[in-house]
Amino acid sequence: MASTLPDHPQSDSPAGSPAQQAPLSALSMPSPPSASQPERSGRVEVHGIDHIPETERRGRARELFSVWAAANVNYLNLVVGGALVLTGLSLWQAFAVVVVGNLFWLSTGLLAVSGPAAGAPSEVITRTMYGIRGNRANNAVTGWMISVCYFALNLAAAAVAAFSLVEQVGVTPNTPIKIAIVIAIVVVTLTISVYGHAVIVRLYLPITLALAAAFAVVGYEILRHADYGWSQPQPLTGGGLWAAVLAGVTLIASGPLSYTTSADFSRYLPVTTSPRAVLGWTALGGFLPSVVVGGLGVLGASAVDMTDPQAALQKILPGWFNPVFLLSLVVGTIAVNALTAYSAGLALQAVGIRIRRTLSVLVDGAVAVALTLYALLVSNFLDTVSNVLQLTVVLLGPSTAIYATDILLRRNHYDGRALTDETPDSPFWYRAGINPAGTLALAAGVATSALCVDTLYTGPVAALTGVDLALPVGTVVSAAVYAPLMRRATAAARDSA
């Protein structure tokens, strides 16, 4: 028996059957949806971390584009783009950083290919890397804690925009009103998360179109007011320039790296879905809007003071559009947070807590509200965003590298039914429920990354070099440790498939 509580009874084909396998090289198109009770957008999703039978799979990989696009046409990308210029980068340097940092959406796409292969969320697939018990600890930190922190940061951004919106209708947002606004935004967000996957897939296409239209107006005004000949009063050179560039790439990359749970949103696709299509549509859905909106933030820094972008941008936007702009900021952050809360709910189940997905999502929302009120009423929001996003890369870089390496080693062969077995007889029990290879690789990656980080604290390597190398070092070390340790085990698993 599994120690977690599935939201839906198991009704799968036998473990290890061909229906559960999808090689990375598969190029076939999705099969037609089955007529046997596929999920519907008008119902609360019945599945949690349990396996999705092939009879309940449907959809096409291209649906993933709007899921990720809606989550990335948002205020936070605009803020981060402007923040790059504030660190001393020139406009073209900041543009280059935006593009390079967002190339990490390819890793998000790669992780997503494991969803259709396993019919399971990322929180369960990572049992192959850390073992049954080790994965519970991994989900507690990488899955749940970091997701809730991101939820709170995005919620704070939505709340700030909503505060300005109510001011425009003549209401002064005192503390009780602010709390009420935060709770109202959370209620809308969690409603989407509770209804789950089918609602997200259906709702996010119109959200993407609406947000794209709103940001098109913002983009037009930024392009019209931008100073294309603008330059830094004191341009960065040498070590200072490289330090700013690497810190900026880390800051941008923290966005896609935070989605180590991308298989959560692809697991309902048929097992025959092309892995290349899953990777491509996921990566493009995150990369394209992030680059466009982040680039607008960069250009905006040449026209307005991006230390307070919300207030500054309203000065160049048409008066009639200001409420629409503020509302779009709220909707955009609701879109990204609905995905975050959805995955955080699955992570809480995967930790081993016997709780239904719908209730776990509500727990996540309650914790995020508390963190958000702290971020809004106590700390500086922009500093909090920058510091937290950079610090999480110490953990997220290595964990992403291990996950990606595992997919490549196994050639995307995952037995979805076997992954649900949490007993000592499970093939993923390893040693006392812990996979030494994954644990050692993660520890090595995080330790070396921490030596190189320069954000809330400065590691000794960063102090010596003057640059933040946490992301490249942690990623390379964790993959280099994991690959040789797991190569024999993954080869045996492929041969027995």
pLDDT of residue 105: 97
The dihedrals phi and psi of 436, each to the nearest 5 degrees, come to: -60, -35
Q: Which range has the top average pLDDT, 21-30, 67-76, 96-105?
A: 96-105
* Pick from 467, 431, 430: nearest CA to 452: 467
Give the model confidence (pLDDT) of 121-159 as tens digits.
999 999 999 999 999 999 998 888 888 888 888 888 888
- Mean pLDDT (whole number) for 470-495: 85
Q: Which residues neighbour 220 within 8 Å (Cβ) at sequence distance 6 or greater?
A: none
pLDDT of residue 335: 94
**253 to 128, 249, 471, 472, 497: CA distances (angstroms):** 25, 6, 9, 11, 35
Q: How many CA atoms lie within 13 A of 451 on its CB side?
A: 11
Q: In this predicted structure, which of 39-53, 185-199, 238-252 has the lowest mean pLDDT?
A: 39-53
Q: Which residues neighbour 374 within 8 Å (Cβ) at sequence distance 6 or greater?
A: none
Other beta carbons within 10 angstroms of residue 46's beta carbon come to 17
Contact 345, 357 (CB under 8 A): yes
Q: Hey, is 431 helix, strand or coil?
A: strand
| 301 pLDDT above the threshold of 50 | yes
Q: Which residues neighbour 225 within 8 Å (Cβ) at sequence distance 6 or greater?
A: 303, 304, 316
pLDDT tier at 39, thresholds 50, 70, 90: low
- Supply 361's token pair: 């999502």
pTM above 0.85, yes or no: yes
The dihedrals phi and psi of 38, each to the nearest 5 degrees, come to: -70, 160
| 350 pLDDT above the threshold of 60 | yes
Q: What percent of the chain has pLDDT over 90?
A: 57
Give the amino acid at 435. N
Give the model confidence (pLDDT) of 320-342 as tens digits.
898 999 999 899 999 999 999 99
Helix (H) or strand (E) holding 188: helix 175-195
Size of the chain, expressed as the number of residues it contains: 497
Give the amino acid at 243. A
Radius of gyration of the chain (CA): 22
pLDDT of residue 34: 39
Contact 435, 134 (CB under 8 A): yes
**Alpha-carbon gap, residue 466 to 482, rounded angstroms:** 29
Q: Which residues neighbour 177 within 8 Å (Cβ) at sequence distance 6 or greater?
A: 166, 171
**190 to 154, 345, 449: CA distances (angstroms):** 14, 10, 34
